[in-house]
């Protein structure tokens, strides 16, 4: 698969959205296109661990700060059993 095809596939796939709230010390994980789906976590590690358990293939994840500005975007891989 070419790099261009991989990039197109990544853009077409719905992303996970992770918002951090420094004031509340919480992290909110959502799914792009699913406005009502949200999970809350007390720390970043717990949020990323949960995200790796719910994905079945490499999935884009965007990390936002409390002002709604994207800090970075990456891929999250499924967690391997064991």
Sequence spans of domains, the chain: 3-76
Q: Is the pTM above the cut of 0.95? A: no
Contact 61, 18 (CB under 8 A): yes
**pLDDT score, position 25:** 84
- Least Cα distance to 25 among 4, 51, 46 occurs for 46
Q: How many CB atoms lie within 10 A of CB 25?
A: 9
- Least Cα distance to 13 among 52, 47, 71, 62 occurs for 62
pLDDT tens by residue, 13-56: 789 999 998 777 899 999 999 999 999 999 999 999 999 999 99
Token code pair at residue 60: 């884009």
Residue 74's H or E segment, with its range, is strand 70-76
Which pLDDT band holds residue 76 (cuts at 50, 70, 90)?
very high
């Amino acid at each position: 698969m070419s790099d261009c095809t991989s990039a197109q596939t990544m853009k077409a796939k719905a992303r996970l959205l992770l918002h951090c709230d420094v004031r509340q010390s919480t992290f909110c994980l959502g799914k792009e296109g699913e406005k009502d789906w949200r999970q809350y976590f007390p720390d970043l590690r717990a949020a990323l661990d949960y995200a790796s358990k719910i994905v079945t293939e490499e999935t884009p994840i965007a990390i936002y700060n409390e002002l709604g500005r994207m800090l970075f975007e990456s891929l999250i891989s499924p967690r391997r059993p064991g």
